[in-house]
Amino acid sequence: MACDLLEHFLKKALCAPANCAFFYTLKAMEQPLITIPRRRLMGLILSAGAGLLMGAGKADAMWSVMDVLNGGETPGNGSIPPSLRGVVGYNGEAYRKFLARIGFRKISVQQIMDTHAKAHGRIHNTLPPRQFWGNIRSTLLAVDKVCNRLGEPVAEVVSVYRSPAYNATCPGAKSHSFHLRNNAIDMRFHSSPRKVAATARDMRKAGLFKGGVGRYPGFTHLDTRGSNADW
C-alpha cells in the first residue's frame, strides 16, 4: 500500500503545475480531504523515498509522509538531533516523541537517538521498525532504576536497536541479538562495568526486572528478554 500511495502522489505531483495545490483523499484510512502544495508534497515523497532506501521499511516511510500530512511538524525543525537529519527523516521525530513519553529520567532521548545515526563504513544503522518501538520501554525503565541505585545517570549510550545489516558489522554481535528486537541497551557509566553489572544483577534478584546483564571491558549490557542471563 505504501508504495502504491507514493506512486500515486508522485504521478499527481509531476503532472501538476509548479504552484498548484491539489486534493486527495484516503478512504481506506478514513482521512479527511487534504490540500497540499505540489512543492511540499514532492519534499515529503523524497523523504519517504530516502526512508525506503535507508531500510526504514515501506510502512515507516509511508507513515513519515502521513504524519506530516496529518498536522505533524515538518522535517528539520530543530528537535531531531543534527546527526540524524537526512538519515531517519521525519520518522525520527515521531520516535523521539514516543521515547519522551516513556518517562525515564537518567538517560536523554538524544543519547538514544544518536545511536541510530551510527555507521560502520557504508553500513548505517536505522530506527527500529514501528512494531518494535514498544520493546524498549521496559529496558529503559530498568536502566533508570539501576541509575537511581548507582546515584548517577548514563554517561553514554553505546547501542540500542541495531538493524540486521548494521548488527552484522558489530564485532562479537550475535545473529539473534536482542538489539535486533529493540529490547537491549549497551551503556557506559562513570562507575566501572563491574559495579554496574553487579548492581543490575542485585536489582534483578530483587525482582525489579527479568533479563540479561552482560559485563564488557568498556560498557554494560542490559535487556529485558523475560528470562535471566549473565555473561
Alpha-carbon Rg of the chain, whole angstroms? Answer: 20
Class of the domain covering 105-230: alpha beta
Q: Per DSSP, what are the bridge partners of residue 227?
A: none
Across the range 61-82, mean pLDDT stands at 42
Distances (CA, A) of 224 to 35, 58, 183, 200, 228: 45, 28, 6, 12, 8
Across the range 101-126, mean pLDDT stands at 95
Please tell me the distance from the alpha carbon of residue 195 to that of residue 198, in angstroms, as a whole number. Answer: 5
What pLDDT sits at residue 13? 47
Q: Is the pTM of this model over 0.85?
A: no
Domain-by-domain residue ranges, the chain?
2-69, 105-230
Burial of 214 (0-12, 13-18, 19+ CB in 10 A): middle
Closest by Cα among 201, 118, 200 to 154:
200
Q: Between vectors from CA 138 to CA 166 and to CA 62, what angle results, nearest 5°?
A: 50
Give the chain's largest Cα–Cα span.
Answer: 66
Which of 23-32, 69-78, 80-89, 152-161 has the largest mean confidence?
152-161
**pLDDT mean across residues, the chain:** 77
2-54 pLDDT, tens digit per residue, is: 455 555 545 554 555 544 443 333 333 333 444 455 555 555 555 555 544 44
Question: Which residue in this structure is represented by grid cell 532521548?
Answer: 109
- Cell of residue 213, nine digits: 546483564
Please tell me the distance from the alpha carbon of residue 104 to that of residue 127, in angstroms, as a whole number. Answer: 19
